[in-house]
Structure 1
Amino acid sequence: MSSYYAHHWPHFPPGWRIPPSIRTNGFLNGYYDDEGWWSLAWIAAYDVTRNQEYLSTAQSIFEDMQAAYGTTPCSGIWWDKAHTYVNAIANELFLDVAAHLANRASTPASKTYYLSWAEEQWNWFRNSGLINAQHTINDGLNDTTCQNNDGTIWSYNQGVILGGLTELSRATEDSSYVTTAKQIADASIASLTVNGILHDACEPDCGGDGSQFKGVFARNLRILQQYSPEARYATFLDTNANSIWNDDREGRELSLIWSGPYIQPANASTQSSAMDAIVGALAT
């Protein structure tokens, strides 16, 4: 998944059109956020199968991301290899992948390596200006001034950091990371919900990528909730899951707007996103 829709909103194609195809080098391409998603997917596959090849693939992808660190005027990593944008999602994913790999390292030296990257990236991220005064995360930085660009507060940018900080807390046994994650989660829920239901600014036309954003938030809130439970997060997930099932469903299809009504297109993107909320409610 790339950031095309987030970066170009509101000028993106409708959900029934797909972005142009691109040539890739295995699981590497021109976008570091794509690589981060792939790395997390391979880590998840490793967790289920314990197949070392999957973890090695995730580690190889991480090395390509790591090579970009510090090459921007603002430090951190670029969104893309064309060096057009320093955004939140690529940098959050870099942190999240590093923390995940630290928790799956086979040797103390390997854990130290990945943990040092996760901690360095978090130290950069929290001081970068991406987190605003309201404790939510804007889309990116102005790469000339390295200041917060006041970009859209997308739900997925609020979500990935929750998973990354939870994984970092697990690796270090430092509860301060979870404290910060809950501060961001609370601010995000306050900012992005109407009557308890999560929304993104692109609704009702979020394209192929944007329609997954809310699911990313729900999935990572579930990760935080399973690690350090709070009644308010269980209520949030239950409320959204019930609304999806009652008001955003036609038969077996789940669509974009979780408060309803059900709209077209309903596709793999909207379905997987909504299922993240339902799974989150059932799991917590």
Structure 2
Amino acid sequence: MRLSSTCTAAGAALLGAQVVAGITLDLNSHDSIKSAASTVAHGMMRFYNGNVTGGIVGMLPGPYYWWESGAMWGSLIDYWYYTGDTTYNSFVTEGLLYQVGPNKDYMPPNQTKSEGNDDQGFWGLAAMSAAELKFPNPPDDKPQWLALAQAVFNSQAIRWDNSTCGGGLRWQIFTFNNGYNYKNTISNGCFFNMAARLGKYTGNQTYVDWAERMWDWVENVGLMSPGYAFYDGTDDTINCTQQNHIQWTYNAGVFLLGSATMWNITNSPVWYDRTWAIFNATSVFFSPTVANVMYEVACEPNGNCDIDQRSFKAYLARWMAASTKVAPFLTNAVMIKINASAAAAALQCSGGNDGTTCGLQWTKLGVWDGNTGVGEQMSAMEVIQSTLIQSVAGPVTNDTGGTSKGNYAAGTGGDTNPGAPTGTITTGDKAGAGILTAVILVGILGGAWWMVA
């Protein structure tokens, strides 16, 4: 694969510097890219203990929350898709099936007291990717990938809440959880993304209509700015009249792929313009000092990224790359950023005892920043393997070779309230993929220095 001739001088300098430190990565060599992704994947899986005594199948140990386990399985589906390496396939299948819950909708009893719509959404999106990318199907007597994605979608469609703010999904599912009054963008974005992709995969207009409905709500309630910046969320106790203007990479990414898919379905100039506008607005997430290198603008510069936020770049990289398969007009612009970010990420993977542990701040070229964790590994792996997007086939549908079995009625039974918790839910109990409610409300009502306007 050749890099675009429009790569910047800074990007070219990065490519030339890769052999100096960190993981060796030659973006002109598929074998080199696959080897680098393999090294990072191995480093990520060292944090997983669900296959050993004392671990829980499908779940990362603390301090990682349940949602990030689903996100990790999604990243390993991508890993198989890009590299063809089946090393982790059995772990992926086992993990995704073990956590489905008794109603096969990713509402397992060990999580429902603290589970948010965004948490469930990340597991559903992993199942959606498995269906689209033809990840090996589960045994016939087990839940199937498409049906699991449909179950998550259906269970969330039932939760659409017109009682405040004219609709949308709440962050938390049950009333007793802190954050129930917060309608956050990632929960609604996951639903929009899944609706669009289910519409494409199945050809069912109902999903497309739901995607349109969600887009309109997000726009009307002000979670998306006129310049297509996506904000963190809004408080329904004030009828969503104010928004938390913090921007995260994953919110932009989840809407980018959803919008690109809607363009692919409709071929509408409206969705074409929206897709370009979302992509252009992602410029806030690329360093002003190291050209085209991704960073988490709300927390990286001041070292305040929490456990969740350290994984967010993985999803922007994932969904930017995937967008090029359904909206090819994005390809050149996306790949300039993916290639430069991958080169920088490889350089940052130069720490730890093995000399290949990945840090967080890719803009610190070749100097490991001392950070380490699942999020750091996942982000580096996703952006590195995403450089192979032009060499793999696009997502399948029911009409183009898809083999995953669906169930349109999955997840329509409604939620079973697990009952009030026996004690106060603490910060450690929370499974939310976003920032905690107390911090959110400070951002809405008092402003936050790390806000991005």
Q: Secondary structure at the match of 2:212?
A: helix
Relative to 1, partners in 2 of residues 1:268 and 1:20: Cα closer, same or farther, differing over 3 Å?
closer
Query: What residue number does 2:350 align with?
Result: 249
Distance 1:205 1:104, change over 3 A: same
Offset at residue 175 of structure 1 (A) = 4.1
Judge conservation of contact 1:130–1:148 (CA < 8 Å) in 2. Answer: no
Higher relative contact order (CA 8 A, sep 6+): 2
Aligned equivalents of 2:332 and 2:130: distance in 1? 30
CA–CA distance in structure 2, aligned partners of residues 270 and 142 of structure 1: 30
d(CA) in 1 for partners of 2:182 and 2:375? 25
Residues 197-241 of structure 1, C-alpha deviations (whole Å, 9 max, x = no match): 222222234232111111111111112233323433211111111
Q: How do 1:104-143 and structure 2 match up within 5 A?
A: 104-105=201-202, 111-143=204-236
8 Å CA contact retained: 1:248, 1:259: no
Identity of aligned residues (%): 25
State the alpha-carbon separation in 1 of the partners of residues 208 and 266 from structure 2: 8
Which residue is 1:96 aligned to? 193
TM-score (norm 1): 0.83
Whether 2:360 is the aligned partner of 1:275: answer no
Paired amino acid for 1:280 = S
Going from structure 1 to structure 2, the CA distance change for 1:178 and 1:258 (only over 3 Å counts) comes to farther
Q: Tell me which amino acid in the other structure corresponds to 2:123.
A: W
Closer/same/farther in 2, CA of residues 193 and 21 from structure 1, 3 Å limit:
closer
Could you list the per-position Cα deviations for residues 232-284 of structure 1 after superposition, in whole angstroms to 9, with x for gaps in the alignment? Answer: 32111111111111244333322211112323342222111112111222324
Q: Which runs of 5+ in 2 are unaligned?
A: 1-60, 68-98, 138-142, 391-453
Give the Cα–Cα distance (whole angstroms) in 2 for the partners of residues 68 and 40 of structure 1.
Answer: 18
Q: TM-score, normalised by structure 2?
A: 0.54
Q: CA shift at 1:87, angstroms?
A: 0.9
Name the SS of the counterpart of 2:308 in structure 1. Answer: helix
Give the unaligned 5+ runs of structure 1.
1-15
Matched, 1:202 2:287: no
Letter in 2 for 1:159: G
Counterpart Cα distance in 2 of 1:21 and 1:54: 19
Q: CA deviation at 1:130?
A: 0.9
Amino acid at match of 1:232: A
Contact 1:159/1:220 (CA < 8 Å) preserved in 2?
Answer: yes
Aligned partners of 1:282, 1:25: CA distance in 2, in Å?
A: 31
Q: Which has the higher helix share?
A: 1
CA distance in 1, matches of 2:348, 2:373: 17
The residue that corresponds to 2:81 in the other structure is none
Larger radius of gyration: 2
| Cα distance in 1 for residues equivalent to 2:334 and 2:65 | 38
Q: Is the 8 A contact 2:253 2:315 kept in 1?
A: yes
Moved over 4 A (4+): 19-22
- The Cα shift of 1:34 comes to 1.0
2:311 aligns with: 212
Q: Hey, what does 1:78 align to over in structure 2?
A: 170
**Counterparts of 1:134 and 1:118, CA distance in 2:** 20
- Greater shift, 247-256 or 112-121, is seen at 247-256
Matched residue SS, 1:208:
coil
CA contact (8 A) 2:312 2:375 kept: no
Distance 1:160 1:21, change over 3 A: closer
Q: How many aligned positions are there?
A: 264
Deviations 1:77-103 (A, max 9, x none): 111113221011001111111111112
Q: Map residues 1-284 of structure 1 onto 2, 5 A cutoff.
A: 18=63, 26=101, 27-28=106-107, 29=112, 30-47=115-132, 48-49=134-135, 51=137, 53-74=144-165, 75-81=167-173, 82=175, 83-105=180-202, 111-143=204-236, 144-190=238-284, 192-194=286-288, 195=290, 196-200=292-296, 201-203=298-300, 204-226=303-325, 227-228=327-328, 229-250=330-351, 251-260=355-364, 261-284=367-390
- How far off its partner does 1:191 sit? 5.4
Question: Aligned partners of 1:157, 1:68: CA distance in 2, in Å?
Answer: 20
